Amino acid sequence: MNSVRLVEVGARDGLQNEARSLSVDTRIALVERLADAGLRTIEAGAFVSPRWVPQMADSAAVLRGLGERHGVTYTALVPNLQGLDMALAAGCREVAVFAAASEAFSQKNINCSIAQSLKRFEPVLAKALEAGVAVRGYVSCVLGCPFSGAVPVPQVVAVTQALYAMGCYEVSLGDTIGTGTPGATTRLIQACADAVPLSALAGHFHDTYGMAVANVQAAWQAGVRVFDSSVSGLGGCPYSPGATGNVATEELVYLFEGQGIATGVDLAKLLEVAVFIDNRLQRTGESRVAKALRARPQ
C-alpha cells in the first residue's frame, strides 16, 4: 500500500493565529492526543518573541512536558540562533526555519529581505546540524503574496534550493494565502523538483479559496509524499490578511485513506481531538469532513 506522511502543525501554526492563548497543560494535552491518534511528526511550539506571538509563549515548557515517545518527533520553529539555543535547551531534536518567496512578505513578516533571512539561517543550520538536530525549511507565499500578488516560480525555486543546500532535509512549500490552483501547484512542484530531490519537498496548503484538498491531490500526483495539515483546520497567517486556516488534517486523512493510501492516523480519534481543541478555543468551525461524518446516520 502507498503511504503519505502528514506533518501536524495545529499546535504551532494553527494556535499561533487563534485569538485565545492556551495554557501549557492544554497545549501538551493537544499534542499528546494528536500522537495518540497516530500523528508521528508534530509541531509543538515556536521559539519566537512572545511579544509578537503570545500564543507561542512557554514553548520550552511544552516541549519539556511532552517527554519522549517512541516513533514520534516533536518539532519547533526557530527564527534565529537565540531561538535555536532555547529549542536545544528544551531537548528539541528537530527544528524548522522559515523564509518567504516574496520580498514584500519577507519585509512585513520578519523585517528583512529574502537574502538577509537566508544569511541569518546559515549559522542556525550549522549549529543545529553540528548538534545532531534535523532542520526542516518552510517557504511561504509560493503561490501568491497578499502584498505583491503573483510570485514568480523561479523565485520560489531559488529559495527552496538555498534552504536545501544549507542542510534542510525537507522543504515545505507553503500556499500561505490559499490562492493556488491544481495546475499552478503541479507546475510549481515540477519546477522545484528540477532543483532539489522530489523526496525533499512537502506541501503546505491553506483553504482560503476552497482549493487546499485539490492542491494536495495535484501535489501527490506530481510526486510529493509529505503534507502539512492542522487538526480542525486551525490557523491562518497573522501577516496575511484574509487567509483562512491550514487544510484540516481530518480532510487529508479522509482523502488519502479513501484512495488506499495509508496515513497511519485513526480518523475517529482525530475527530475527538478536533472537538477537544475547538472546545478549548471556544471555536464553532469544524472542518467539512468532521461535519459530514457527524451527520451520518449511525
pLDDT at 245: 82
- Tell me the pTM: 0.95
Q: Which residues of 179-202 are buried (b: 16+ CB within 10 A; e: fewer)?
A: bbebebbbebbeebbebbeeebbb
Residue 239's domain comprises 5-295
- Split the chain (298 residues) into runs of 10 and give each run's mean pLDDT: 93 92 98 98 97 95 95 97 97 97 91 94 98 98 94 98 98 95 98 98 94 97 98 71 78 97 97 93 75 69
Q: How many CA atoms lie within 13 A of 42 on its CB side?
A: 28
41 forms beta bridges with 7, 73
Whole-number Å distance between alpha carbons of 28 and 87: 16
pLDDT at 35: 98
CA-based torsion, 233, 234, 235, 241: positive or negative:
positive
Scored b (16 or more CB within 10 A) or e, 98-109 reads: bbbbbbebbbbb
CA distance 134 to 88: 11
Would you tell me how many other CB atoms lie within 10 Å of the CB of residue 291?
A: 10
Predicted confidence at residue 286, as pLDDT, reads 65
* 211 and 185 Cβ atoms separated by less than 8 Å: no
What pLDDT sits at residue 17?
87
Of 92, 141, 168, 237, which residue is the catalytic one? 237
Active site residue 141: no
DSSP for 181-250, written as a single string: -HHHHHHHHHHHHTTS-GGGEEEEEB-TTS-HHHHHHHHHHTT--EEEEBGGG----TTSTT--PBPBHH
Rounded CA separation 150/141 (Å) = 9
Q: What CATH number does the domain containing 121 carry?
A: 3.20.20.70
Overall number of domains in the chain: 1
